Structure formats: structure tokens, C-alpha cells
């Protein structure tokens, strides 16, 4: 297990530790030191990590870091919060500090996932959608932004994704993140399996799209963002929400969908039921086998299915889809086929990229995903929009 249950607070550990050392001082201030679980007899395999712990760890470690091993170092352990999740953090004894390079000290002594005050400013916002008050945070680069976007979360009752707001704002994109209805500080009623309800009904997806459209209006009213190109970016379930939101708020200039399905909600759920339970699904199945497998699956779902192509066929804004080739939460091949159909039917502004080795979370905000995504947004907002 990749948990801290076996690691007691302030336990002296003559163990190896690892530290991410960034290539620049700015990046090093975002880094921190964590215990190498494998050296404690615990598995470091990502497959054994809970999704929340894994997600927090990936947000805390920017891409491009160099791993440095410190062997035989006796010190004490305490914990820091990363989006509400405790992670063990190394505390260096004062005599040791003098022996460590300055850049390593910067990594060791900085907070987890901290906003770099030299790069990002943020403030809280509130807005009303369908009579419900929602709460969020706006992250602004201190250098001029090239665009601004609303981040739309995937399924689940997680609070606002401050981590992604920070990561994107540090790269020049202003981002509004918010607590979805019924979650965190937002009002309203949350729908999802955690509370025994269905979160992918047409009704609930419409509610969530209303919320995202209202959030985009907040960006329009922010003084630093006046005249700025606006858009949506989000992951997973956001692939159904964002097209609806873009129809509701025509200020949207672009949309980026990370692992956003271009298949019906029924098709998505049925594929997930086949593939998700098997962690080695893509080790013993090929992409060519999947259509035959799914053809044998009957659809017992009684609730009305939603097809995102209904909205996508009406939109005329550029869209970029980012897919992981080892995704077990959605049928990537079917989504690509559907997307190609939309492109051929008169939507050349739609495009996609596939990362063959990534799964549904696309590596957890890795630079090889972030860089082409942000480059695409930069290039897109400089071109005239034809609706």
C-alpha cells in the first residue's frame, strides 16, 4: 500500500529518501521531499496507490524534476497537506542543512504545491447558477495572461481543483476553479454514486453545464481579463459538460478536454464495466479486440443516455481532445471514431492527440501533456473565430 499508516509521526528513519530537484529556482520552490515507500517495505507501484493520494503526489511533483538519493540520512518525518491529503515530508536537522546545496534546500523547505508569489495571484469568487451560490478561486498569472479558462472537474465530490489552477496559471493561463454544487463551500445538492444518485443523467449534466457557463461569465467580469479570449478546460466527465456549457455561453472561444468521451453516457458506463475492474486490461487485450468485445455487451441501463455529439455538432469553436491509449474509463477508440466523423461533417476546428502510454488521468499534469495543450490554446486564440 502507498499510504502513511505504517509510518509514525516523528519516527527516526535511517532510510533512503528522494527529493525532486527542479531545473530552475522557480520550479524548485514547488517541490518537496517525500519518503521512498519502497525502502520501507511498502510498494511504490502507482497501481497500489489510492487515486486521491496518487493525484496529490503527481500535482506536487512537476515534470522535469531530477531524482536525488540521500542514503543513510537520519531525520524526522512530519506531514504536509496536498489538496487535503497527508503526505510524509522530510525534516532536515539543522547541522545537515549546511551540507546540502541551496537548490536542494529550496525543495526541502518549501510547502507542498504552493503558489509561487512571484508568478501567481489568486482570490476567491462567488457566483449564482440556477438559484444556487457557488464558490471558487481565480488564479491569475502575474505576467500578462494569454487567455483565461474555467476548469470543469470530472465526476466525484472532490472540492475545487486548486492544484490545476496553480499549474496552469504558472504557465500563463488564468484559471477559475470552483466547488461543484453540493460540494465544499458551494450550495445546492450534489448528485453522484457517493450519495446514491446518478451523476450522468441528462438533467444533472445540464445543471453542471449551467454552472460552468455561469463561471465563464465571472471571467468576463474580471477587470484584469477584459478583452481576454475565454474558454473551457476540463477532464473526464467534463467531456459531456463543456460542449453543453459552450452552447449556453457563447463567450467561449475554445475548449480543451482531457480524457473527454465522445461517446454516449451508456456506452461509456458499459465500457468502464468491462475494462475498469481489470488493471491489466491493456496488457492482454488489443484495441482491435474492443469493438468485438463491446458488441457482445447488452445495455441494461434504464435511464436516458446522453450523446455529446448533439452539442458538438452545433458548436463552431475550436476543440482539442487529449486521450490516453491505456484508458479504462472510456472507450478511446470509439471516441476518436466519433470525433473523426464530426471533423468530416464540417468541424475541421476539432482535433485530438493520443498519448499511448497514459491512462485516464493522462499522467497527472505532466509537461508532455501540458505543453501541447497550452501551445494549442495560444495558437488558437490568435486566429480569427468563424462561427
Whether 58 has a pLDDT exceeding 60, the answer reads no
**pLDDT at site 140:** 93
Whether 44 has a pLDDT exceeding 90, the answer reads no
**pLDDT at site 259:** 94
Q: What domains, with CATH codes, occur in the chain?
A: 13-109 (no CATH), 120-381 (3.40.50.1820)
- Give the pLDDT mean for 30-59: 38
- Give the pLDDT mean for 109-122: 53
Which parts of the chain fold into alpha helices (H)? Answer: 25-28, 51-60, 94-97, 102-109, 162-169, 202-221, 238-248, 265-275, 290-295, 309-312, 332-344, 362-365, 367-381
Q: How confident is the model at residue 24 (pLDDT cuts 50, 70, 90)?
A: very low
Whether 127 has a pLDDT exceeding 90, the answer reads yes
Q: How confident is the model at residue 118 (pLDDT cuts 50, 70, 90)?
A: low
Q: Which one, of 140, 340, 358, 149, lies nearest residue 256 by Cα?
A: 149
Whether 209 has a pLDDT exceeding 80, the answer reads yes
Cell representation of residue 334: 470509439
Q: How confident is the model at residue 168 (pLDDT cuts 50, 70, 90)?
A: very high
Q: Out of 54-58, 181-185, 239-243, 380-384, which region has the weakest mean confidence (pLDDT)? A: 54-58
**pLDDT at site 98:** 45
Sign of CA dihedral 250, 256, 262, 266: negative
Q: How confident is the model at residue 241 (pLDDT cuts 50, 70, 90)?
A: very high
- Give the pLDDT mean for 119-129: 90
Grouping H, G, I as helix, E, B as strand and the rest as coil, residue 345 is coil
pLDDT tens per residue across span 246-260: 999 989 999 999 999
Most confidently predicted of 52-66, 80-94, 105-119, 200-214? 200-214
Tell which wins on pLDDT, 182 or 92: 182
**pLDDT at site 349:** 93
**pLDDT at site 284:** 92
* Spatial CB neighbours of 32, under 8 Å, sequence gap ≥ 6: 19, 20, 60, 80, 89, 107, 108, 110, 111, 112
**pLDDT at site 194:** 83
**If you average pLDDT over every residue of the chain, what do you get?**
75
Query: Residue 174 and residue 150: Cα distance in Å, rounded?
Result: 9
pLDDT tens per residue across span 306-323: 999 999 999 999 999 999
**pLDDT at site 384:** 74
pLDDT tens per residue across span 324-378: 999 999 999 999 999 999 999 999 999 999 999 999 988 776 788 899 999 999 9
Whether 50 has a pLDDT exceeding 70, the answer reads no
pLDDT tens per residue across span 253-292: 999 999 999 999 999 999 999 999 999 999 999 999 999 9
Q: How confident is the model at residue 387 (pLDDT cuts 50, 70, 90)?
A: low
- Give the pLDDT mean for 189-205: 88
Amino acid at each position: 500500500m502507498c499510504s502513511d499508516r505504517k509510518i509514525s509521526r516523528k519516527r527516526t528513519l535511517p532510510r533512503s529518501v528522494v527529493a525532486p530537484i527542479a531545473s530552475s529556482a522557480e520550479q524548485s520552490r514547488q517541490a518537496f521531499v517525500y519518503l521512498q515507500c519502497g525502502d520501507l517495505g511498502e510498494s511504490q507501484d502507482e497501481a497500489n496507490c489510492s487515486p486521491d493520494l496518487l493525484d496529490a503526489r503527481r500535482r506536487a511533483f512537476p515534470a522535469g524534476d531530477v531524482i536525488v538519493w540521500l542514503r543513510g540520512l537520519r531525520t524526522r518525518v512530519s506531514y504536509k497537506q496536498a489538496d487535503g491529503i497527508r503526505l510524509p515530508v522530510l525534516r532536515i536537522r539543522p547541522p545537515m542543512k549546511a551540507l546540502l546545496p541551496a537548490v536542494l534546500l529550496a525543495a526541502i523547505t518549501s510547502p507542498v504545491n504552493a503558489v509561487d508569489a512571484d508568478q501567481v495571484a489568486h482570490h476567491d469568487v462567488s457566483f449564482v447558477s440556477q438559484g444556487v451560490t457557488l464558490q471558487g478561486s481565480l488564479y491569475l498569472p502575474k505576467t500578462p495572461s494569454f487567455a483565461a479558462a474555467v476548469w470543469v472537474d470530472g465526476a466525484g465530490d472532490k472540492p475545487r481543483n486548486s492544484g490545476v489552477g496553480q499549474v496552469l496559471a504558472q504557465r500563463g493561463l488564468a484559471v477559475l476553479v470552483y466547488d461543484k454544487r453540493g460540494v465544499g463551500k458551494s450550495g445546492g445538492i450534489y448528485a453522484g454514486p457517493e450519495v446514491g444518485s446518478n451523476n450522468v443523467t441528462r438533467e444533472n449534466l445540464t445543471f453542471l453545464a449551467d454552472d460552468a457557463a455561469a463561471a465563464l461569465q465571472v471571467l468576463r467580469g474580471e477587470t484584469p481579463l477584459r478583452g481576454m479570449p475565454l474558454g473551457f478546460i476540463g477532464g473526464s466527465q467534463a467531456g459531456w459538460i463543456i460542449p453543453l456549457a459552450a452552447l449556453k455561453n457563447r463567450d467561449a472561444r475554445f475548449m480543451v478536454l482531457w480524457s473527454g468521451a465522445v461517446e454516449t453516457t451508456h456506452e461509456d458506463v458499459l465500457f468502464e464495466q468491462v475494462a475498469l475492474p481489470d488493471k491489466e486490461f491493456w496488457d492482454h487485450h488489443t484495441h482491435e479486440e474492443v469493438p468485438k468485445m463491446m458488441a457482445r455487451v447488452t445495455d441494461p441501463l434504464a435511464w436516458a443516455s446522453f450523446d455529446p455529439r448533439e452539442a458538438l455538432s452545433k458548436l463552431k469553436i475550436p476543440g482539442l481532445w487529449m486521450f490516453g491509449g491505456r484508458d479504462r474509463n472510456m472507450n478511446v477508440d470509439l471516441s476518436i471514431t466519433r470525433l473523426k466523423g464530426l471533423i468530416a461533417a464540417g468541424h475541421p476546428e476539432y482535433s485530438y492527440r493520443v498519448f499511448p502510454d497514459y491512462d485516464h488521468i493522462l499522467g497527472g499534469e505532466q509537461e508532455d501533456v501540458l505543453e501541447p495543450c497550452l501551445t494549442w490554446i495560444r495558437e488558437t486564440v490568435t486566429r480569427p473565430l468563424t462561427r
